[in-house]
């Protein structure tokens, strides 16, 4: 693909996140052209194609065999990612997969190696990383506004999902760790490179065979701690705090702000409390733009840092799962 052209992208699956977030972002990114949308049912594919454009394709494999698709976006349930991302990479397509890329480190490492061999871009779509508020906060911390960073606390949880939601199905990679726990885990790495060690974790099982609440305590090589909580059996919370030797910064609506929402960031120091004036930003469009531009630049998974980030994230998710202690017996 030569520089200056656009990336012809196809979508594997007609998930809600594709309709609400990704496809509107594609329409706003000049470097992307939606050429095909695939579903297992013709009617569903036709509905998406009528709304967003592109060809309606029945069956994911049929989309991967198209010559007019350079890259694919994968919003399928987590338990299906490994198989379909693998098939996409084998078909020579660049891949942007919704978080998490895979259910465990072994699957993620296999996909990274396949992307490396085929010289393809593979990216795990944690969109919040592309919102400018987090880079602004990281610059604030690097500038010494809170002194030396001592601890990170991050929370992401929401009320129970509808009974038939795929995130309650263990065979599809359900559970809160893989759905919302990955956000605070990745956030800790954004502000402190690590390496991180899991000092303890708890995952609370629900009645459907998946975890519905969890918490983890992480410790970095620099002795920074991260206290992380997550779940989908909760009052809605979406916030993180960075606590240093000289101050505290709090970010609200941290992971899923809409493109028109102004950030809510508070800096507290002994002499003042300040609300930072940061602009609204569209993390969905930014993520799509970054992916398209890296594909156009000819980048593979090794050139962008994605390979290392994918491995580190999957390693920590596995470690949280492995460290999770069973609930004490009622006495």
Mean pLDDT of 131-142: 98
Does the structure show a pLDDT above 60 at 2? no
Q: CATH 3.40.50.720 occupies which residues in the chain? A: 7-128+286-300
Q: What is the CATH number of domain 133-280+317-325?
A: 3.30.360.10
Mean pLDDT of 140-146: 97
Mean pLDDT of 136-163: 97
Please list, in sequence order, all residues whose beta carbon lies within 8 angstroms of the beta carbon of residue 20, skipping any fewer than 6 positions away: none
Query: In this structure, what are the phi and psi dihedrals at residue 32, rounded to the nearest 5 degrees?
Result: -115, 140
**pLDDT bracket for residue 326 (50, 70, 90):** low
Secondary structure, 3-state, 185-204: HHHHHHHCCCCEEEEEEEEE
**pLDDT value at position 15?**
86
**pLDDT value at position 271?**
94
Mean pLDDT of 177-190: 98
Please tell me which residue in 5, 93, 99, 261 is annotated as part of the active site: 99
d(CA 280, CA 125): 20
The pLDDT tens digits for 68-98 are 999 999 999 999 999 999 999 999 999 999 9
Q: Annotated catalytic, 5?
A: no
**pLDDT value at position 59?**
97
- CA geometry: angle 36, 40, 43, nearest 5 deg: 75
Q: CATH 3.30.360.10 occupies which residues in the chain? A: 133-280+317-325
Mean pLDDT of 209-214: 96
Mean pLDDT for all residues in the chain: 95
Q: What is the CATH number of domain 7-128+286-300?
A: 3.40.50.720
Mean pLDDT of 7-31: 93
The pLDDT tens digits for 218-274 are 999 999 999 999 999 899 999 999 999 999 999 999 999 999 999 999 999 999 999
Please list, in sequence order, all residues whose beta carbon lies within 8 angstroms of the beta carbon of residue 35, skipping any fewer than 6 positions away: 8, 9, 10, 54, 55, 66, 68, 69
The pLDDT tens digits for 268-287 are 999 999 999 999 999 999 99
Does the structure show a pLDDT above 90 at 320? yes
**pLDDT bracket for residue 194 (50, 70, 90):** confident
């Amino acid at each position: 693909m030569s520089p200056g052209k656009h990336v012809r992208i196809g979508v594997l699956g007609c998930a809600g996140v594709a309709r609400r977030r990704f496809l509107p972002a594609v329409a706003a990114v000049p470097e992307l052209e939606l050429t095909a949308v695939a579903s297992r049912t013709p009617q569903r594919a036709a509905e998406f194609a009528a709304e967003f454009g592109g060809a309606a394709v029945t069956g994911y494999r049929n989309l991967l065999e198209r010559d007019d698709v350079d890259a694919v976006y994968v919003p399928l349930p987590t338990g299906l990612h490994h198989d379909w991302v693998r098939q996409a990479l084998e078909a020579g397509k660049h891949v942007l997969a919704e978080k998490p890329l895979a259910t465990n480190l072994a699957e993620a490492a296999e996909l990274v190696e396949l992307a490396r061999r085929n010289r393809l871009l593979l990216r795990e779509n944690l969109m919040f990383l592309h919102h400018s508020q987090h880079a602004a906060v990281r610059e604030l911390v690097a500038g010494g506004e809170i002194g030396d960073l001592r601890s990170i606390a991050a929370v992401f949880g929401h009320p129970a999902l509808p009974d038939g939601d795929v995130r309650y199905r263990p065979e599809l990679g359900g559970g809160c760790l893989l759905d919302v726990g990955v956000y605070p885990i990745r956030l800790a790495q954004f502000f402190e490179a690590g390496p991180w060690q899991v000092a303890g974790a708890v995952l609370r099982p629900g009645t459907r065979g998946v975890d519905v609440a969890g918490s983890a305590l992480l410790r970095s090589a620099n002795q920074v701690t991260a206290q992380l909580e997550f779940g989908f059996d909760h009052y809605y919370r979406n916030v993180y705090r960075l606590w240093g030797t000289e101050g505290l910064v709090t970010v609200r609506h941290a992971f899923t702000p809409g493109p028109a929402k102004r950030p809510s960031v508070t800096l507290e120091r002994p002499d003042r409390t300040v609300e930072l004036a940061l602009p609204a930003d569209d993390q969905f469009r930014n993520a799509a733009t970054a992916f398209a531009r890296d594909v156009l630049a000819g980048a593979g998974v090794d050139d962008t840092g994605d390979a290392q980030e994918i491995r580190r994230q999957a390693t920590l998710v596995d470690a949280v799962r492995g460290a999770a202690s069973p609930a004490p017996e009622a006495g």
